[in-house]
Structure 1
């Protein structure tokens, strides 16, 4: 048989799904190892502040060393499939396969909250962009379960399918995932109905409020209520020094050096600010233990269960 007559079958749904799951496992493992190294070098406080950038760099590195070089990812190699189309060898298409799944999600996660806090209109636009991306991704996933190609939305847009290196067996029937596609469409219809009902309910409430609106905004301690509701994320700002910490009533500057040496957070290895205590009795910075608790629900010292809602602020330690 000549090379011109060689043809490869399209990858089966099970192969594509297993490859995608395998890639997620490898990226998660690589991210965890990277975080452990950076935590030991730079501390938990730095890692909590730049966790989204670390995740982005890990994904870019993984895809850049595989898809960017026009070779299989570890998941594709595991299931013996690879990307192929008339455009798959183009550097622009490979760059799209790397950047489109990572950069927009990072920008929405990192810049979305800060942009949305500037005005209600920007907040509405950011929220609409996130919801629209989720809905389009679910529609693409439902079509994949029904039709069997283009598991990722980016591949459908760029026209880069998967092919398989395993010959088709005419005596076996591949598993069907059509039921999952139908269920996803049912969920989308339910989501649409709930959205329309909430819009109609909000319009009614808005009309009632406008009829009984008070032209003067209420104030608490000479501060408008709207300013009290727009609370910023404590992770977004650098931690203040111990002398400038408003959540410590001690005169830190007057403490003896040996006493201040004991006021060290075991996570960031810096002097504690905004001290809080866990249920097991260990003291940490609020930002440090909060960032740790979002990743692991256990105390970093004794490994007991950690509940972020049960943290107790300590103002005099």
Structure 2
């Protein structure tokens, strides 16, 4: 009777697959370098990685095992104990290989124009990257705790592993490692929330400082409401920016012409 594969076998198979994909990547890079030159090979590293991974993992679409799966005696099945269809395996390969490449390409494309992005667009890009990394770590923690799905692509498509050989000796899991990852995520989340609250509080305070604090007479320099009201030694009140620029050019009160030292300007609160 077959049994579900444990975390150590699935991790070992994934490591073997990564090892062989890296070998294929190195060989393809040598071919590209010989055909198109070192510069083109260096500029197309991610595309070479994509082609190598597609070449290796696409064999699964036709029902073939990867070298890692053969090494660990694993068999792919659906939750209903059936062999996955070609459509299901094709979806798995796209999610596992092509989707990360597209996300990386989009991230690099937008990062190259980051200076031209509006603040909200840049924030959305950072949020998307953070969310993807968070989902990946959460999936890894769940795998270490309960097994079954090492990659998100396997979890989405429902492809699991059976161990086809008789197990000898006790099987150990990675539950403690999964718990540590969850603990780290909780701590990181708390720190992020505190940082966000602090940032919002500072931004709100800065906005309040820009709001005119007095319904009284306007600033005699800009003729507008006083923003960050500031008093001179003689008692006249102006906007902070207005009087600071004025005193930098002419150190005297604009109204009474008394001498004013820039360092003696007093910022008025609750004015």
Q: What is the TM-score normalised by the length of structure 2?
A: 0.69
Tell me the residue number matched to 2:144: 145
The Cα shift of 1:185 comes to 0.6
Match of 1:190 among 177, 187, 190: 187
Tell me the residue number matched to 1:31: 25
CA displacement 1:91-126 (0-9 Å, x = unmatched):
221111100012221122112232353433332222
SS at match of 1:100: helix
Length, aligned pairs only: 205
Q: Does the CA-based 8 Å contact 2:84-2:159 persist in structure 1?
A: no
The Cα shift of 1:76 comes to 0.6
Match of 1:62 among 35, 45, 56: 56
1:202 aligns with 2:191: no
Q: Does the CA-based 8 Å contact 1:88-1:160 persist in structure 2?
A: no
Structure index of larger Rg: 2
Q: What is the TM-score normalised by the length of structure 1?
A: 0.60
Contiguous gaps of at least 5 residues in structure 2: 211-226, 228-271
Q: 1:82 to 1:120 in 2, by over 3 A?
A: farther
1:130 aligns with 2:129: yes
1:101 aligns with 2:100: no
Task: Tell me the C-alpha RMSD between the 2 structures.
Answer: 2.0
User: Take 1:89 and 1:149, find their aligned partners in 2: how far apart are those partners?
Assistant: 15
Match of 1:173 among 170, 179, 182: 170
Contiguous gaps of at least 5 residues in structure 1: 1-6, 215-317
CA displacement 1:22-56 (0-9 Å, x = unmatched):
11111111111211221222122212322211111
Q: 1:186 to 1:39 in 2, by over 3 A?
A: same
The Cα shift of 1:10 comes to 0.9
SS at match of 2:162: strand
SS at match of 2:4: coil
User: Take 1:122 and 1:90, find their aligned partners in 2: how far apart are those partners?
Assistant: 40
Q: Does the CA-based 8 Å contact 1:108-1:126 persist in structure 2?
A: no
User: Take 2:99 and 2:122, find their aligned partners in 1: how far apart are those partners?
Assistant: 16
The Cα shift of 1:211 comes to 4.7
1:71 aligns with 2:64: yes
